[in-house]
């Protein structure tokens, strides 16, 4: 295998990718780099997201760009705004040591005049969604006559989203002698047409076979009775305490329903579907990316462009109709060298379809048993014990309480203390799974009926307990800690001003054009609010705030101290005090106010990295 240096990349690029920790090229990079660096031949590359495809086209293109020349040298088209922003961010980091280099992202749903200004200031690469790119061309604001490279990223997605005509029109505005690089996971018939029409004798490379599922992913299924779909999903999640995954549903209604049921049952989840506005979608995606959500329930369309590398699971609540959709879904896990699991909940009727899918994607699906209560409890208990063992206690505030705590436990043995602590945490969980029925599909009618009766009794009991307030109290108590990559801000708008997360996201989106910081936890209080934003944007945010107004009131935003992981008062409390009587009223409702968003709560205290389990019943 050649190294990046041996492939002939310039020192400016080598130093940037070294900083990113890229040591060896991935398969697609190994194949694509020499082709693009050494020839002008068009190229079709079959690669999934997660294979390193962005660097596979960006690095060799950047290597050949002459920043002293005027005009746009490369246009990258991507199906979604999220993917476009991700590509632009990647290109920015690969090119950070190239003097004078500029990349601009253009996409719909954002102020076009800002994007026009960015282009007019001069740039080398434009990354755009087809609709906005064409709009800019028609307005005569985007000139592609100097383009040397055209990249069509996730071309199959662009076509399946209905961008064929836009692509036709954009491509007609590019010079004939450019090099066209088409990246796609699959080769649907309309892409064959597109490549014949616009590409000149293209070379083909494949990292894995076309439409073949990612080899880092294990494909498994539970065989279920259709009425057990939801309880089986819960088992899948409960048996994996550190799960960080997407649950794919087929419709918006199903997505909403599954997310609502999971949130009600205490899971750290939210829904992503087409009924949400762009600002709401961004909000949910950011929370998922930041791992404030452990599970995302999504439709295929809404999850496009969501780029997360560390997913442990993809769960197919129902199997999709199209093979390519399954490939896309499962390809979201097992990325960047990680192992992933794609789990499908399958009824007897769907088994034939699965066998067909196996042949099409060239991968075997393994039937696994739906875990029983005993297995789940064991997993959860030992995970908790591991978490306790791994908890760091250096510089802990607990030191001063320890003498009293030890005194309290003085008359108990170590075994008794451990048993009591574990029972306090787990009794309800154990109770929920005590006598849990076998959910594996069985042909014995009487056993099925016994299971169903038992299930409904248990669910009634849970309903009663929830009514009594036993369930869900932990959700209220759950504390969120400001993540290390986030800055927390105070904003002078609250519930009383009709303020909510959607309005906040809208303000940020419209006043911070061209920037796309990640937004973390939003806490809407009565008179004011707090929110988290990715570090490094304080100046931009404060500049933007000067132009913000809400309900005729100027908006003021100040940096706040990070939210501590639990217990102690934070700046919010101090502000309450500073604000005299207003604050006094506010303080009492503080703990509940933060959970404006269903299922919210984010990372529990002590979570250092990664989505953390929350207790479920």
- Burial-class residue 556 by CB neighbours within 10 Å (0-12, 13-18, 19+): middle
Regarding 289 and contact with ligand AMP (CB under 6 A), the answer is no
Enter the DSSP assignment of 122: -
Binders of ligand AMP among residues 302 to 341 (CB under 6 A) are: 309, 335-336
Closer by beta carbon to ligand AMP, 51 or else 344: 51
Looking at residues 211 to 240 of the shown chain, list those that interact with ligand AMP (rule: CB under 6 A). none
| Shorter beta-carbon distance to ligand AMP: residue 309 or 608 | 309
Report whether 36 contacts 53 (CB < 8 A): no
Q: 20 or 412: whose CB is closer to ligand AMP?
A: 20
Yes or no: say if 479 and 605 are a contact pair by the CB < 8 Å rule: yes
Beta bridge partners of 46: 184, 206
Q: Pick the stretch among 51-59, 208-216, 424-432, 547-555 that binds ligand AMP (CB under 6 A).
A: 51-59
For the chain, the distance separating the N- and C-terminal CA atoms, rounded to the nearest angstrom, is 51
Task: Please tell me whether residue 225 adopts helix, strand or coil conformation.
Answer: coil
Q: How far is the CB of 50 from ligand AMP (least distance, A)?
A: 5
Helix 501-511 to helix 538-545 angle (10° resolution) is 100
**Token couple for 304:** 């496009």
Contact 461, 416 (CB under 8 A): no
Q: Does 29 bind ligand AMP (CB under 6 A)?
A: yes
- Asked if residue 50 binds ligand AMP (CB under 6 A), the reply is yes
Q: Which stretch binds ligand AMP (CB under 6 A): 36-44, 47-55, 432-440, 533-541?
A: 47-55
Whose Cβ is closer to ligand AMP: residue 336's or residue 418's? Answer: 336
Alpha carbon of 145 to those of 130, 140, 174, 383, 565: distances in Å? 17, 12, 6, 59, 54
Helix, coil or strand: residue 309: coil
Pick the stretch among 50-58, 108-116, 289-297, 564-572 that binds ligand AMP (CB under 6 A): 50-58
Distances in Å between the Cα of 147 and the Cα atoms of 57, 128, 143, 447, 565 are 15, 14, 9, 67, 51
Do β-strands 557-560 and 103-106 pair in parallel, antiparallel, or remain unpaired?
A: unpaired
- Listed ranges 23-31, 313-321, 394-402, 508-516: which one lies at the site for ligand AMP (CB under 6 A): 23-31
Is 51 near ligand AMP (CB under 6 A)? Answer: yes
- 571 and 523 Cβ atoms separated by less than 8 Å: no
CB of 10 to ligand AMP, least distance (A): 16
221 versus 244: smaller Cβ distance to ligand AMP: 244
To ligand AMP, the closest distance from the beta carbon of 250 in angstroms equals 25
| Position among 7, 14, 16, 25 found at the interface with ligand AMP (CB under 6 A) | 25
CB of 87 to ligand AMP, least distance (A): 8
Token pair recorded at residue 147: 């383009």
Beta carbons of 125 and 60 less than 8 angstroms apart: no
- Residue 294, interface with ligand AMP (CB under 6 A)? no
Select the residue interacting with ligand AMP from 26, 184, 333, 482 (CB under 6 A). Answer: 26
Question: 50 or 599: whose CB is closer to ligand AMP?
Answer: 50
Ramachandran assignment for 246, one of left (phi > 0), alpha (psi -120 to 50 degrees), beta (any other) = beta
The least distance separating ligand AMP from the CB of residue 91, rounded to whole angstroms, comes to 11
482 binds ligand AMP (CB under 6 A): no
Torsional sign, CA 443, 449, 451, 456: positive
Q: Counting contacts by CB under 6 A, is residue 52 touching ligand AMP?
A: yes
- The least distance separating ligand AMP from the CB of residue 307, rounded to whole angstroms, comes to 6
Using CB under 6 A, count the residues that bind ligand AMP: 14
What are the DSSP calls for 53-113, one per residue? HHHHHHHHHHHH--TTS-S--EEEE-SSHHHHHHHHHHHHHHTTTSTT--EEEE-TTS-HH
Would you say 306 or 524 has its CB closer to ligand AMP?
Answer: 306
Nearest-angstrom CA–CA distance, 555 and 491: 7
Q: Is 53 in the site for ligand AMP (CB under 6 A)?
A: yes
C-beta closer to ligand AMP: residue 183 or 198: 183
At 172, give phi and psi (nearest 5°): -65, -20
Stretch that binds ligand AMP, among 20-28, 97-105, 237-245, 246-254 (CB under 6 A): 20-28
Q: Is 55 in the site for ligand AMP (CB under 6 A)?
A: yes
Which x/- pattern, by CB under 6 A, does the window 414-443 give for ligand AMP? Answer: ------------------------------
C-alpha radius of gyration, the chain, whole number: 26
Give the position of tokens 């041996």: 6
Q: Is 63 in the site for ligand AMP (CB under 6 A)?
A: no
Stretch that binds ligand AMP, among 44-52, 119-127, 466-474, 570-578 (CB under 6 A): 44-52
Among residues 22 and 230, whose Cβ is nearest to ligand AMP?
Answer: 22
Of 14 and 541, nearer to ligand AMP (C-beta) is: 14
CA distance 555 to 550: 7
Among 10, 22, 353, 354, binds ligand AMP (CB under 6 A): 22
> In this structure, what DSSP letter does residue 437 have?
P
Choose one: 43-51, 441-449, 538-546, 562-570; the region binding ligand AMP (CB under 6 A): 43-51
CB 499 to ligand AMP: min, Å: 35
In 268-353, which ranges are E strands?
269-272, 295-298, 313-316, 340-346
Are the CB atoms for 488 and 560 separated by under 8 Å? yes
Stretch that binds ligand AMP, among 19-27, 34-42, 311-319, 587-595 (CB under 6 A): 19-27
Only segment of 18-26, 152-160, 245-253, 588-596 that touches ligand AMP (CB under 6 A): 18-26
If one asks whether residue 49 binds ligand AMP (CB under 6 A), the answer comes out as yes
What is the rounded distance in angstroms from the CA atom of residue 520 to the CA atom of residue 527? Answer: 20
292 binds ligand AMP (CB under 6 A): no
Phi, psi of 149 (to 5 degrees): -130, 135
Q: Which single residue is written with the structure tokens 């869900």?
A: 472
Instruction: Tell me if 184 contacts ligand AMP by CB under 6 A.
Output: no
Residue 24, SS3 per DSSP? coil
According to DSSP, the β-strands at 529-534 and 486-491 are: antiparallel
**18 sits near ligand AMP (criterion: CB under 6 A):** no
Instruction: Kindly list the residues in this chain that would bind ligand AMP in the complex (CB under 6 A).
Output: 22, 25-26, 29, 49-55, 309, 335-336
């Amino acid at each position: 295998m050649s190294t990046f240096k041996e492939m002939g990349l310039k020192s400016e690029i080598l130093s940037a990718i070294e900083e990113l920790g890229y040591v060896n090229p991935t398969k697609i990079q190994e194949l694509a780099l020499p082709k693009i660096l050494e020839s002008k031949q068009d190229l079709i590359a079959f690669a999934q997201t997660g294979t390193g495809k962005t660097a596979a086209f960006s690095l060799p293109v950047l290597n050949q760009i002459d920043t002293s020349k005027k005009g746009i040298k490369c246009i990258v088209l991507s199906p979604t705004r999220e993917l476009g922003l991700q590509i632009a961010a990647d290109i920015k980091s690969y090119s950070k040591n190239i003097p004078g280099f500029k990349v601009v992202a253009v996409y719909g749903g954002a102020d076009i005049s800002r994007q026009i200004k960015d282009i007019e200031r001069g740039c080398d690469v434009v990354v755009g969604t087809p609709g906005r790119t064409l709009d800019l061309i028609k307005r005569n604001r985007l000139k592609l006559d100097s383009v040397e490279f055209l990249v069509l990223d996730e071309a199959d997605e662009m076509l399946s989203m209905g961008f064929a005509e836009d692509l036709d029109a954009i491509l007609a505005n590019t010079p004939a002698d450019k090099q066209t690089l088409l990246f796609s996971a699959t080769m649907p018939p309309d892409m064959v047409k597109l490549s014949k029409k616009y590409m000149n004798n293209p070379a083909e490379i494949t990292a894995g076979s076309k439409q073949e599922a990612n080899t880092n992913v294990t494909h498994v299924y539970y065989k279920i009775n259709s009425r057990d779909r939801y309880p089986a999903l819960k088992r899948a999640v409960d048996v994996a305490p550190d799960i960080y995954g997407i649950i794919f549903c087929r419709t918006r209604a199903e997505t909403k329903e599954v997310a609502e049921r999971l949130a009600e049952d205490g899971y750290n989840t939210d829904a992503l579907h087409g009924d949400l506005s762009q600002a709401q979608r961004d909000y949910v995606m950011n929370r998922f990316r930041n791992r404030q959500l452990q599970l995302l329930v999504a439709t295929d369309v809404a999850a496009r462009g969501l780029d997360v590398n560390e997913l442990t699971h993809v769960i197919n609540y129902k199997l999709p109709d199209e093979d390519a959709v399954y490939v896309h879904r499962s390809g979201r896990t097992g990325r960047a060298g990680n192992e992933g699991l794609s789990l499908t909940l399958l009824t007897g009727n769907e088994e034939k379809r699965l066998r067909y899918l196996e042949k099409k994607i060239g991968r075997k699906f393994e039937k696994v048993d739906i875990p029983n209560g005993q297995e789940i409890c064991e997993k959860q208990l030992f995970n908790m014990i591991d978490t306790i063992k791994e908890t760091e206690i250096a510089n802990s505030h607990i030191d001063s309480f320890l003498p009293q705590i030890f005194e309290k436990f003085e008359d108990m043995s170590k075994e008794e203390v451990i048993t009591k602590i574990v029972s306090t945490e787990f009794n309800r969980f154990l109770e929920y799974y005590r006598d849990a029925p076998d959910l594996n599909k069985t042909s014995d009618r009487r056993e099925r009926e016994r299971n169903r009766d038992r299930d409904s009794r248990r669910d009634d009991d849970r309903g009663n307990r929830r009514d009594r307030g036993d369930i869900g109290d932990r959700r209220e108590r759950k504390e969120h800690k400001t993540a290390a990559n986030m800055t927390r801000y105070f904003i002078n708008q609250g519930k009383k001003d009709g303020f909510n997360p959607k309005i906040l996201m809208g303000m940020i989106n419209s006043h911070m054009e061209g920037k796309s910081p990640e937004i973390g936890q939003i806490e809407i209080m009565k008179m004011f609010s707090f929110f988290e934003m990715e570090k490094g944007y304080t100046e931009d945010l404060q500049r933007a705030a000067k132009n913000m107004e809400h309900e005729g009131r100027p908006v003021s935003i100040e940096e706040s101290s990070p939210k501590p992981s639990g217990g102690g008062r934070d700046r919010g409390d101090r502000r309450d005090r500073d604000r005299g009587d207003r604050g006094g009223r506010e303080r009492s409702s503080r703990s509940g106010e933060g959970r404006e968003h269903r299922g919210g709560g984010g990372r529990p205290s002590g979570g250092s990295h990664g989505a953390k389990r929350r207790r479920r019943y």
